[in-house]
Structure 1
Amino acid sequence: MPLFDFPLEQLREYRPERDEPADFDDFWKRTLTEAEAFDLAAEFTPYDSALTSVEVYDATFAGWRGHRINGWFLLPRGASEPVPCVVHFIGYNGGRGFPHEHVVWPAAGYAVFVVETRGQGGGATWAPGTTADPDGGDYAQTPGMMTRGIMDPETYYYRRVFADAARAVDVAASHPAVDASRIVVEGASQGGGIAQAVAALRPSVSAALIDVPFLTHFRRAVEITDRDPYQELVRFLSSQRHAEERVFRTLSYFDGVNFAARGTVPALYSVALMDMTCPPSTVFAAYNHWAGPKEITVWPWNDHEGGGGAQREEQLRYLRRLWASHD
């Protein structure tokens, strides 16, 4: 896989103008207010995972319009006081998988809340999911989620997803075993894009770990990559030839660059310079707009897998430094 985007020196300076609707903040304030009209109704049911050092709970809560969102909630067994919590968001088409796949954070002494993305994971053998999306929009779409309800920001799929994710932070903060002052949002690809948005929507979180984020700088992404999921947008526009203005207006409410400009918490990003799924310039566009303290790890020779386990080590050390400085 060749280097195909701007040189690294140019990427570090790449800060494009934001395509931002005038009512961006009002739209999201109203969206969260509508979501908060429903009680969280969080439930944590003990689950026998055969893990001896971790407590596992089958978790569920009320997301957008009260729709039930599922996940796993894991705690280090025998913690004597409330612990930090990582709220983990999942990559495109994945579900929550199995509890044993999420033990790294409890091994480090943290709780982890693995939050499913509504409507995804039904066909993912690598990480099956269980959460439905009762709202589907009222317009034709390409296969996948990127164009579901895309003709209007009110009906766009990711409005529901981001509202669910913001509610998940509230669920984590409400759990008696969690130190609500030390909640982190985290994810890669789609999960990174969701974490990026939630860090802006819930500035009470203490940090954001954002790996190779999707859902960011849409216009450039669709122009320079031929990979899914961004190609879902291209296929839609190639069929709906007069929809471009409406589509990109909708996407402007969900663009990670606009959320990044509102992100004030400490953030650790990662980017892969050979990533043709979430091109490096789209990641740097958001990172360079991030308004709070920030660091970025660059993986020069990787595609969308990014840093993998090496990046997880970076994150573990980052949080240890971050919280040590606050103690």
Structure 2
Amino acid sequence: MPLTDLSLAECLALSPALPEPADLDAFWAKTLAASPPAEPDFRLVDTGLPQVTTYDVTFAGHGGDPVRGWLRLPAGARQPLGCVVEFLGYGRGRGLAHEQLLWSAAGYAHLLMDTRGQGWSAAPGDTPDAGAVGGSVPGFLTRGAGGPAEHYYVRLITDAVRAVDAARAHPAVDPGRVVVTGISQGGGLALAVAALVPGLAGAMPDVPFLCDIRRGSVIAARPPYTEVAEYLRLHRDDAGALLDTLSYVDAAVLAPRATAPSLFSIAMMDDICPPSTCFAAYHRYGGPKDVRVYEYNGHEGGGAHHQRVQLDWLRSLLAS
């Protein structure tokens, strides 16, 4: 797989100045204030795995819409626990209750948020997108192109903020030791949450989507960024309005507001989330930051090798 973007040296030297809406902070303050508290409901489920205690979680997301998730706790662990709140990649749902045991096996609480309106790829979901309005091309980047208040990713980022609130509400979780993470779309959500939620212990975005969306829309070879180009191919006069709307949910635009320590992963042969877009978020990130670069990998990034890096980083970060 060849390089499809800038070289590593060029990416390391980037100094991106991204257009930022003048009312960005006011918009997000108003949006989050308008959504009700998470008020999570935790229902114990039998997974057949005696070493993991699992709850089916429902909490109020954007506009009070019910959002689903799984909360997994290592059975018998001393509490309160550090917690990993995880957001999913594009198209994925929360899957089945007995899946995705890495973080609970490592001794952490793990809240996995379902993704509204998704769940057709690899893992099923249980959360509809009740707020969809207006026309779009297939996918989510143009769903709600008329303005930020209507946009899909405003709803999804709000859900992700409330997922952190839900995790902090469980008595087994130490609210001061919550880390957000995710791959691709999940990585972009982790960055947005790190920018919008105070007091997080850390963030681990992997090959993040939703970063420098303007650039991604003109250089990415594969979806989802290509959805923007497909929409504008049909709506030729709407580029300014759509790109302005997308700047409200761009994780690289939001990144300077983040203060929690972070560990990024970026793949230099990624043709889905081009490395220059990920580096835009990395360079603009406001808190302490580290990055692992996988020069010969595509969108799979560091895979299990990077998980081992994350385990070591997280153990050091949350040591008590």
Aligning the two structures, in what range does the TM-score lie when normalised by the shorter sequence? over 0.9
Residue 157 of structure 1 corresponds to: 152
Question: Would you say the 8 A contact 1:141–1:236 is kept in 2?
Answer: yes
Q: CA deviation at 1:182?
A: 0.3
CA distance in 1, matches of 2:151, 2:220: 22
TM-score, reference length from structure 2? 0.98
Residue 18 of structure 1 corresponds to: 18
Residue 298 of structure 1 corresponds to: 293
Question: Would you say the 8 A contact 1:13–1:288 is kept in 2?
Answer: no
Residue 110 of structure 1 corresponds to: 108
User: Are 1:275 and 2:270 matched, yes or no?
Assistant: yes
Gaps spanning 5+ residues in structure 2: where? none
Query: Percent identical across equivalent pairs?
Result: 47
1:41-190 to structure 2, matched below 5 A, reads 41-121=39-119, 123-124=120-121, 126-137=122-133, 139-190=134-185
| Number of positions where the alignment pairs a residue of Structure 1 with one of Structure 2 | 320
Q: Which moved more, 1:94-103 or 1:179-188?
A: 94-103
Q: Which secondary structure state, in structure 1, belongs to the residue aligned with residue 70 of structure 2?
A: strand
Q: CA deviation at 1:278?
A: 0.1
Gaps spanning 5+ residues in structure 1: where? none
* Counterpart code for 2:295: P
Residue 225 of structure 1 corresponds to: 220
Q: CA deviation at 1:322?
A: 1.7
Residue 262 of structure 1 corresponds to: 257
* Counterpart code for 2:45: Y
Residue 9 of structure 2 corresponds to: 9
Question: Would you say the 8 A contact 2:37–2:162 is kept in 1?
Answer: no
CA distance in 2, matches of 1:204, 1:255: 21
* Counterpart code for 1:17: A
Deviations 1:61-114 (A, max 9, x none): 011111000011100001232101100000001000123322111111101000
Residue 306 of structure 2 corresponds to: 311
Q: CA deviation at 1:203?
A: 2.2
Q: CA deviation at 1:204?
A: 1.3
* Counterpart code for 2:304: G
Q: CA deviation at 1:40?
A: 2.2
Q: Which secondary structure state, in structure 1, belongs to the residue aligned with residue 193 of structure 2?
A: helix
CA distance in 1, matches of 2:252, 2:78: 40
CA distance in 2, matches of 1:145, 1:59: 24
Q: CA deviation at 1:25?
A: 0.4
Deviations 1:274-312 (A, max 9, x none): 000000000001100111100000001111000111111
TM-score, reference length from structure 1? 0.96
CA distance in 2, matches of 1:66, 1:320: 35
Q: Which secondary structure state, in structure 2, belongs to the residue aligned with residue 297 of structure 1?
A: strand
CA distance in 2, matches of 1:240, 1:188: 30
